[in-house]
Structure 1
Amino acid sequence: MIRLPDPGTGGTRRYEPRETPAEAVRGHHRTGTGAAVPLTSRTVLAAAHVVADPLADTSPGGPAALDWDATLAFRRHLWEHGLGVAEAMDTAQRGMGLDWAGAAELIRRSAAEAAAVGGLLACGVGTDQLGPHPSGSGAVPGQTLTAITAAYEEQLALTEDTGARAVLMASRALAAAARGPEDYEHVYGTLLRQASRPVILHWLGPMFDPALAGYWGSDDLDAATDTFLRIIAAHPERVDGVKVSLLDADREVALRRRLPQNVTCYTGDDFNYPRLIEGDEAGHSDALLGVFDPLAPLAAHAVRLLDSGDATAFRAVLDPTVPLARHLFQQPTRYYKTGVVLLAWLAGYQEHFTMVGGLQSARSLPHLARAYELADSLGLFPDPERAEQRMRLLLTVHGVAQ
């Protein structure tokens, strides 16, 4: 029994953890030998978190210090389930503690690891070496767009040199500098023309990053969608797919149905992923999801059921995970990484709950306790007793006596 905070009463309540993990978790044994047999009916990538070095003498505004062994071991965990890894993305605290220098090293190391184990890897390409707002007062828009394009080009070249698939991420710098849709069409058109292989375009909504409001040149999502689709239509052979993170399932389905036939829709909707991955008579979404970082064993098991043609069983496994996902990604959504790292620590995939930039403090204790409870109820922890002991330690440190 463990005592969890109860926000409703201002006190605590008793919770009895489960004694055994879910079969999909219990039946998987980490070997470190390589990637599992790939999933076949869907391409599924988990956006992976990074493991901070807890012994580094760092400050919240300084360069990130990573525990490379633990960070790469977690990527092997994802590959061993048959999932692909989306590297250096939002889940890895890109722009929230992980700067371009750290991201570049992460891409290099993960690409080498992927090549060694045969794992699928896609890596985030952005403009964060410019900082969040490069267009200072009096900046000439043309020069600013040139700098933004050059920053993208630098990151694209590095990523392609490693052999990884590139994900062109939304740019805070471009959102700040663009005068309208034509600037987005110019920058993305330039990048797509020079990409050596098809890329994934990423539309990250402002709920994940407020600095990205009005992306594609408009706050009107219909107008923004039209611009997005024009860019794709102008270069369909250079676009492998699009990742849509707007937390609006109906809008994603509508966009998906307007994509060229050879362009894949990768859902980034951490609220509605079971429905979107299952799809309908007109098609389905593949997946590139931050929530599949903690849900990897259950997600892989569910998609293997879909591989066998059993959509009902797929939903029976994945639908119960949605309450945990919605809890982790509740407002302010951008702090979902805190819950993701908490669950990795509780599950034993890392040995501490320290985050880059001190982001372990970004969620309240009741929020973290509820994340633990929901994950435990799903059987996500390979060793429930260890998870309970670690949660007890966290609660005790924060003043909740056990």
Structure 2
Amino acid sequence: MALTLKLPTADGALAPYTMSGSVLARPAAGLNFNRIAYSAAHVVADPMAVCDPWLQAAVDWDATIAYRRHLWSLGLGVAEAMDTAQRGMGLDWATSLELIRRSLDAAKDVPGAFLASGCGTDHLDLDAVKSVDDVIRGYETQMEAIEALGGKLIVMASRALARVAKGPSDYERVYDRVLSQAKQPVVLHWLGDMFDPALAGYWGTSDLDAAMDTALGIIAAHPDKVDGIKISLLDKDKEIAMRRRLPPGVRMYTGDDFNYAELIAGDGFGNEPTHGKSDALLGIFDAIAPAASAALGALAQGDEAKFHALLGPTVPLSRHIFAAPTRFYKTGVVFMAWLNGHQSHFTMVGGQQSTRSLQHLAELFRLADAANVLEKPELAVSRMKTLLALHGVEG
């Protein structure tokens, strides 16, 4: 029997919606991918914690680590304590470090599990940061803590650096110090201001081409210390241009949640393997993990048509989840985890479940169904009706 419910439309009306009945894509067991694929993973809040949820981070550790085990079981890596985990939007540094510690411990029990962790300067009081030296010390504090746990670093873009830097040379100085001290190759992180307005003008300029030149110069000065760079600019042409200029062996990790399918598939440019395709470090992979795994498995077997058939339908969903204001995409990611039964509630750290409208979430539900990424349709319908009822809507 077809599953049907009433969903709000863009004009505020209610309209019947019947589920597609399509079968969820499942990855084949034991396949090795020919792309490195990190999912930036979300955190599960503890709705029963006695706290002020806008001011304190209360994490359900068991459910949070269980979700990482789910991602690892699908062959995906975990990019830990990144913006998808609400870093800088509810998750503080102390809780982030505890998250990193717990995830690293869990990874030891999972054969083949891989993990990299966000290292930034978000513990600093921005009003107290007066110089580039303050930023360097901030990075060093988090580097030391993560590396002491045995963690690989993702060097996150710094709000503090964007605030005090006077030009590209200040970025070069900071990253030279950070990279020269790293114990193993790191992933750099260029997050556009659509994800975080405080990062406007990163690399010392608002001109993206000039910013790219600065970032590439930093990488070229330390090619042995850079595993790759993740860029999240939602501009596929900029990403392609940059990956073609990376030193041999340095990877481009796409963070483009609008165009990831074609960027991962690649264009075969040049003789250097890393110049013709992107690997992945994506927040959307948290929400579409089974489809992403199945698609990457197909690509590894040389079936690009199947790769696009599986991953292509998820792109409209991702573009909706990451629609402006893009920084609120985490709400859609957690909503998907709730619909799919990976957590028992739709409560977020910092009360961020309130950042998207009911109409936005209803359209997300329709697009998730069309993309075949609702893992348990009956449960998804039941939970969508619960959300509607909470808003006074009879679904």
TM-score range, shorter chain: over 0.9
Matched with 2:139 is 152
Q: Residue 206 of structure 2 aligns to which amino acid in structure 1?
A: D
Determine whether 1:48 maps to 2:41. Answer: yes
Are the structure 2 counterparts of residues 132 and 398 from structure 1 closer, same or farther at C-alpha, using a change threshold of 3 Å?
A: farther
Deviation at residue 11 of structure 1 after TM alignment: 1.3
Superposed counterparts of 1:166-177, under 5 Å: 166-177=153-164
Are the structure 2 counterparts of residues 171 and 38 from structure 1 closer, same or farther at C-alpha, using a change threshold of 3 Å?
A: farther
Moved more, 12-21 or 338-347: 12-21
Q: Contact 1:5/1:11 (CA < 8 Å) preserved in 2?
A: yes
Matched with 1:295 is 288
Deviations 1:119-146, CA, capped at 9 Å, x for gaps: 11010000001034443xxx4xxxx222
Matched with 1:363 is 356
Matched with 2:170 is 183
Matched with 2:148 is 161
Q: Contact 2:25/2:291 (CA < 8 Å) preserved in 1?
A: no
How far apart, CA to CA, are the structure 2 residues paired with 1:132 and 1:51?
Answer: 27
Matched with 1:344 is 337
Q: Residue 3 of structure 1 aligns to which amino acid in structure 2?
A: K
Query: Which consecutive residues of structure 2, in runs of 5 or more, have no partner in the other structure?
Result: 270-275
Deviation at residue 60 of structure 1 after TM alignment: 4.1
Q: Residue 362 of structure 2 aligns to which amino acid in structure 1?
A: A
* Equivalent position SS for 1:231: helix
* Equivalent position SS for 1:117: coil
Matched with 1:13 is 15
Determine whether 1:65 maps to 2:68. Answer: no
How far apart, CA to CA, are the structure 1 residues paired with 2:199 and 2:32?
Answer: 33
Q: Contact 1:20/1:383 (CA < 8 Å) preserved in 2?
A: no
How far apart, CA to CA, are the structure 1 residues paired with 2:373 and 2:350?
Answer: 27
Q: Residue 182 of structure 1 aligns to which amino acid in structure 2?
A: S
Deviations 1:219-250, CA, capped at 9 Å, x for gaps: 01111111101110111110000001000001
So what's the TM-score if we normalise by structure 2?
A: 0.95
Matched with 2:100 is 107
Question: 5, 16, 40: which is aligned to 1:2?
Answer: 5
* Equivalent position SS for 2:144: helix
* Equivalent position SS for 1:14: strand
Deviations 1:175-227, CA, capped at 9 Å, x for gaps: 00111111100011001001010000000000000000000000011111111
Query: Which consecutive residues of structure 1, in runs of 5 or more, have no partner in the other structure?
Result: 29-35
Determine whether 1:126 maps to 2:120. Answer: yes
* Equivalent position SS for 2:286: coil
Deviations 1:89-139, CA, capped at 9 Å, x for gaps: 00000000000001000000001111111311010000001034443xxx4
* Equivalent position SS for 2:230: strand
* Equivalent position SS for 1:240: strand
Q: Contact 1:39/1:83 (CA < 8 Å) preserved in 2?
A: no
Deviation at residue 361 of structure 1 after TM alignment: 0.1
* Equivalent position SS for 1:331: coil
* Equivalent position SS for 1:130: coil
Q: Contact 2:193/2:199 (CA < 8 Å) preserved in 1?
A: yes
Matched with 1:116 is 109
* Equivalent position SS for 1:292: helix
CA RMSD of aligned residues (A): 1.3
Q: Contact 1:63/1:102 (CA < 8 Å) preserved in 2?
A: no
Matched with 1:268 is 255
How far apart, CA to CA, are the structure 1 residues paired with 2:215 and 2:118?
Answer: 18
Matched with 2:195 is 208
Q: Residue 373 of structure 1 aligns to which amino acid in structure 2?
A: R
Moved more, 310-319 or 328-337: 310-319
Q: Contact 1:38/1:83 (CA < 8 Å) preserved in 2?
A: no
How far apart, CA to CA, are the structure 2 residues paired with 1:84 and 1:57?
Answer: 32
So what's the TM-score if we normalise by structure 1?
A: 0.93
How far apart, CA to CA, are the structure 2 residues paired with 1:347 and 1:214?
Answer: 38
Superposed counterparts of 1:21-100, under 5 Å: 21-24=23-26, 37=30, 39-100=32-93
Deviation at residue 38 of structure 1 after TM alignment: 6.3
Q: Contact 2:182/2:225 (CA < 8 Å) preserved in 1?
A: yes
Q: Contact 1:21/1:383 (CA < 8 Å) preserved in 2?
A: no
How far apart, CA to CA, are the structure 2 residues paired with 1:132 and 1:315?
Answer: 43
Question: 231, 255, 258: which is aligned to 1:244?
Answer: 231
How far apart, CA to CA, are the structure 2 residues paired with 1:95 and 1:105?
Answer: 15
How far apart, CA to CA, are the structure 1 residues paired with 2:290 and 2:126?
Answer: 35
Q: Residue 2 of structure 1 aligns to which amino acid in structure 2?
A: L
* Equivalent position SS for 1:244: strand
Deviation at residue 329 of structure 1 after TM alignment: 0.3
Q: Contact 1:86/1:288 (CA < 8 Å) preserved in 2?
A: yes
How far apart, CA to CA, are the structure 2 residues paired with 1:358 and 1:281?
Answer: 44
Matched with 1:222 is 209
Are the structure 2 counterparts of residues 326 and 233 from structure 1 closer, same or farther at C-alpha, using a change threshold of 3 Å?
A: same
Q: Contact 1:51/1:66 (CA < 8 Å) preserved in 2?
A: yes
Q: Contact 2:58/2:349 (CA < 8 Å) preserved in 1?
A: yes
